[in-house]
A and B are shown apart, each in its own frame.
Chain A
Amino acid sequence: MKRNLLSMALVIGALTSTAAAGTLEGKAPAGNSVVYVDTIPGKTFPVASKTVVISQRGLAYVPHIMVIEQGSTVDFQNDDSVQHNVFWPSISGNKKDGHNMGTWPKGDKRSFKFDHAGVVPLLCNVHSEMSGFLIVSPTPYFAQTDSAGNFKIDNIPDGKYTVVAWHEGSKPQTKSVDVSGTGKVDFAVAK
């Protein structure tokens, strides 16, 4: 009995140590950068149930950039006294994923569940200067940089990953990173 309990404790300990949560940190171009872990082959995650809000206020999308997990729902709220429209022509260039949500007045909101990962450029077909970006991450491991360009992603299991850095106006960059307790990766500005 004691030997069985001890064996169980050893197994649990081994499993726990294998699934230890690590940290990935580094630097990306300052301001308006998003870093996320790309799709992990053979690994799936529970469907995200989170709902976030993007507001249309002062003829702008607020926040201008947001990152969510694939499967999350976004409430688009019109907080302006003018009519707005929300549409995106594509997701990461795939026009089949483009969508137009129509028009709604002040105070109303409409929701959309983002089941496809990628970069969603948010536009308004009335106010052509309005733009926002929604980064839909295929994994729950993502972060936005601070004003100095620093990022930190917590609770990443140790392992080898492809990490993507997205910055408005630049091409996305990808790097392979080993996370063992702490992983570090830096991204420079890419034209």
Chain B
Amino acid sequence: MSRRIDVVSPKWFLIAQLLLLVALSNSSYAIPAFARMYGTSCSTCHLDFPKLNDFGKAFKDAGFKFPKEDESMLKIPPVMLGAPANKELWPKAIWPGTIPGIPPIGLRYNTYFQYTGSSSNNFAALTPSGSLPPFIPATDFETGFFSLYTAGNFGSDIAFWVNDDISVSGDNSNGGLGDAYLKFVNIGRFLKLPQNALNLRVGQFELEIPFTQARSIWTSPYDIYSQSNIGSLNSVFPQQFVNNHYVLAETGKGIELSGGRHTGGYNYSLAFIDQDTGGAVGNSPYVPTAQGSNQGGLGVQSNADIKDIYASFNYRFNLERDKDSRNAIQAAGPTGPRDHTYLNVGTYYYYGRSVQRLEGVGPDGTAALLTAREPFYRVGGNMTFNYRCCLQFNALYMFGHDMNLLPVDSGGNLIPLQSLGQVSPAGFVQGSPATFSGGFADVEWLAYPWMMVMMRYDGVNSSSDRLNALITNPSFTGSPFNATYGATRNRFTPAVQFLIHANIKASFEYEFRPSQSVVVANNPLTGVPMAFNPFHTNTAVVGLDFAY
């Protein structure tokens, strides 16, 4: 898919903008989008970027502006798209809005150094004979991503956000759009609802999952968020015709209704998004898409008619004794404002209906398209305990469940999944569902304003992943975690991060990774395959990250 790049302005205009940015910056060094607009440090909103403090959460809730008297805080006034008096002329005039006085653009780049244990060479045994195994170096300098962020407010409580990974791993063809949306903040005011009761977001966005993956301070992702559900394909065990590539951390395309505040009290989210469990973009030569012509365009995203539903609800209890302090955006400490001491508990639910289509036969024996519609859900809970500015405990649990519809032939006999190409299915019967569970728990300690010490435990329990790892000929590589030794994958990750400046960070993370195995043999007593000789492929990662 080709990327379309727009030339937005002539050379002289870019030079003028650059000069304006230099002229308007005071004694500060280069600063990202919002810091530029308000002339304030990153640390006003971020603890250890991109992690938000309570004020940053309030800024985001308000639609990327100061929660109160935003106009008096802006150092660069917005450009008026029509005088306010035009409101009185509407509908005979365009409703007036604003755009930021300078393009609110932030850029971010990171780079890494990785050390991988020598046990990684064990994976060479999985390479088909006659092929060269991939080379995994013991040490490697790696380019991360170079991303562009732009966000702000258009007036009338309309906020926007777009971020794009321009380049990933040094290759700009790997980049892609992250979040890109318009958010209509506080539309509940038209329905006379309380402040912040109802917002509408439209576009592409990370769901309101309990802990963000896209803007996490961790170098490595949360394992449970990356867990898709691939049913057991091992012919020795009961099989599952489940091939759901959906992961909770991926961005959704659709709409979201939300409300509440992230700094105290309730907050909720209800999203309706495309279902894309197949992980591929479709195209049709006969039906145009919104973006292009019959034969071009960007294709359709959904692989089913159904729109998936995501819902979350959280309640945060601020624990200060003083009521005014409890209800304020930040707590009033003896040495200055700080984040609240709070307890947040929440729950979430995701529902979709995975679709798999097969060429089969109908009741009359003629060729027919058979569709297995397999409802699935992800459900779980989360909690956070935060002590003042500096100590936070987080935990999340998830349970995933996919209905399993097994193909049968016209005689009603189960068709082994490996034989689907040779035998035409005539229908489906329900088998045992494919399930997984897991979660993570971490502690984050801001030892100094510039130093964050962290520790995390990830655990994922998936029987089907373990059974698929026992497929030896050819070895199964489609599992979310290849060659897993046990049904439960445990990982421990200690980390430390240092803010060199408010916008420059050095990080170190060591991953004690789950057990894996590439040696499979049949149990002489039961004849059932078993894995032997487990090993760990531990990884150490050092990173440098900066935003401006």
Contacts and interface: CB of A to CB of B under 8 A. Distances in A.
Task: Specify whether A and B are partners.
Answer: yes
Given A81-B68, A128-B502, A87 B40 contact: no
Contacts of A126: 44, 55, 330, 336-337
Contacts of B28: 129
Interface in A64-107: 80-85, 87, 100, 102-105
A110 to B, nearest CB: 12
B333 A102 contact: yes
A54 interface: no
Interface in B17-47: 28, 38-41, 43-44
Q: Name, among A58, A100, A105, the residue most crowded by chain B CB atoms within 10 Å (CB to CB).
A: A58
Contacts of A100: 334-336
B335 A125 contact: yes
Contacts of B335: 85, 87, 100, 102-103, 125
Interface in B58-82: 66-69, 72-73, 75
Given A58-B72, A129-B28, A129-B40, A124 B336 contact: yes
B328 interface: yes
A151 B120 CA distance: 73
Contacts of B334: 100, 102-103
A-side interface mostly: loop
A84 B333 CA distance: 11
B332 interface: yes
A59 interface: yes
A59 B38 CA distance: 9
Contacts of A104: 332
Interface in B292-341: 324, 328-330, 332-337
Where chain B touches its partner, the secondary structure class is: loop
A59 B336 contact: no
A127 B44 contact: yes
Max count, chain A CB within 10 A of own CB: residue among B72, B332, B337: B337
Interface string B491-512: 0000000000010000000000
Task: Report the interface size class on chain B.
Answer: 20 to 34
B339 to A, nearest CB: 11
Nearest to A126: B337
B66 A83 contact: no
B40 A125 contact: no
Given A81-B69, A82-B66, A103 B41 contact: no
Q: Considering residues A58, A80, A83, A85, which has the most beta carbons from chain B within 10 angstroms of its beta carbon?
A: A83
Contact of B333 (A103, A124, A129): A103
Interface string A36-70: 00000000000000000000011100000000000
Contact of B336 (A57, A103, A129): A103
Contact of B39 (A59, A80, A125): A59
Contacts of A124: 336
A142 B333 CA distance: 36
Contact of A85 (B41, B337, B502): B337
Nearest to B335: A100
B41 A128 contact: yes
Contacts of A129: 28, 39-41
A82 B55 CA distance: 9
A63 to B, nearest CB: 16
Contacts of B75: 58
A103 B73 CA distance: 19
B55 to A, nearest CB: 7
Contacts of B73: 58-59, 80, 82
Contacts of A57: 72
Contacts of B38: 59
A81 B66 contact: yes
Interface in B329-356: 329-330, 332-337
Contacts of B328: 83, 105
A125 B55 CA distance: 13
Contacts of B39: 59, 129
B211 to A, nearest CB: 25
Contacts of A85: 335-337
A81 B68 CA distance: 6
Nearest to B42: A128
Contact of B330 (A83, A102, A128): A83
B482 to A, nearest CB: 46
Contacts of A103: 332-337
Interface string A102-128: 111100000000000000000011111
B333 A59 contact: no
B548 to A, nearest CB: 15
B477 to A, nearest CB: 49
Nearest to B53: A126
Contacts of A80: 69, 72-73
A83 B335 CA distance: 12
B71 to A, nearest CB: 10
B74 to A, nearest CB: 9
A8 to B, nearest CB: 60
A129 B335 CA distance: 17
A126 B329 CA distance: 13
A129 B516 CA distance: 50
Contacts of B55: 82, 126
Given A81-B66, A82-B66, A83-B337, A127 B332 contact: no
Contacts of A125: 335-336
Nearest to A125: B336
B72 A127 contact: no
A151 B473 CA distance: 90
Contact of A128 (B43, B72, B332): B43
A84 B329 CA distance: 12
A59 B334 CA distance: 20
B69 A102 contact: no
Contacts of B72: 57-58, 80-81
A173 to B, nearest CB: 21
B527 to A, nearest CB: 67
Contacts of A127: 40-41, 44
A83 B69 CA distance: 13
- The interface centre, meaning the residue of A58, A80, A125, A129 with most chain B CB atoms within 10 A of its CB, is A129
Contacts of B502: 128
A100 B336 CA distance: 8
Interface string B65-104: 0111100110100000000000000000000000000000
A67 B407 CA distance: 86
6 contacts: A59-B39, A81-B72, A83-B330, A100-B336, A102-B333, A129-B39
Given A57-B72, A105-B324, A126-B55, 4 more contacts: A81-B66, A81-B72, A87-B336, A128-B41
